[in-house]
Amino acid sequence: MDLKNYIRDISDFPKKGVVFKDITPLLKDPIALKFATEALLHSLENRRIDKVVGIESRGFFFAPMLASGLKAGFVPVRKAGKLPSKTLEEVYSLEYGTDTVEIHSDSIVKGENVLIHDDVLATGGTAKAVCNLVEKMGGKIIQCNFLIELDFLKGREKLKKYAVKSLMHY
């Protein structure tokens, strides 16, 4: 199945000059959704995963399904101020300025095997910040996986020391 048939380009969103890769057509099609989930799980066969970390917000679509399929826990990483309990934070650079992601401080136990998931790998800044958080907590990153990778933005370069799997490349 060619999953690219289920990705819609939206020009000038969220700002002029950006072509947004909209995954909602894939999400609403049960066959494509199942195929994508199984393809993401396939890359992890015979790997023990204790926690699946999903990155806000579109990483939350697949990460819980992956956690269920892997018999692992799901851990959300959110923007600053969105998690209700004690957190650890990581500040990272954006094109203009900085942003912050947070994780509950009790969500990963030292030595646990962790899968990090998000919908799109673009510049890699957010994913790298999440990797830093997981490693600060003592988690071992088994893989970073993405539905889509925007190759021209070279985000994979920030994740060189990790296994990276993307289902679609643009």
Q: Which listed residue (56, 95, 135, 156) is catalytic?
A: 95
Q: Which listed residue (58, 78, 90, 112) is catalytic?
A: 58
In this structure, what CATH number is given to the domain that contains residue 77?
A: 3.40.50.2020
For 96-155, write each residue's pLDDT tens digit.
789 999 999 999 999 999 999 999 999 999 999 999 999 999 999 999 999 999 999 999
Per-residue exposure over 121-144, b if at least 16 CB sit within 10 Å of its own CB, e if not: bbbbbbbbbbbebbeebebebbbb
| 58 annotated active-site | yes
For 1-43, write each residue's pLDDT tens digit.
999 999 999 999 999 999 999 999 999 999 999 999 999 999 8
The whole domain housing 99 covers 46-169
Tell me whether residue 102 is in a domain.
Answer: yes
pTM for this predicted structure: 0.95
Tell me whether residue 54 is in a domain.
Answer: yes
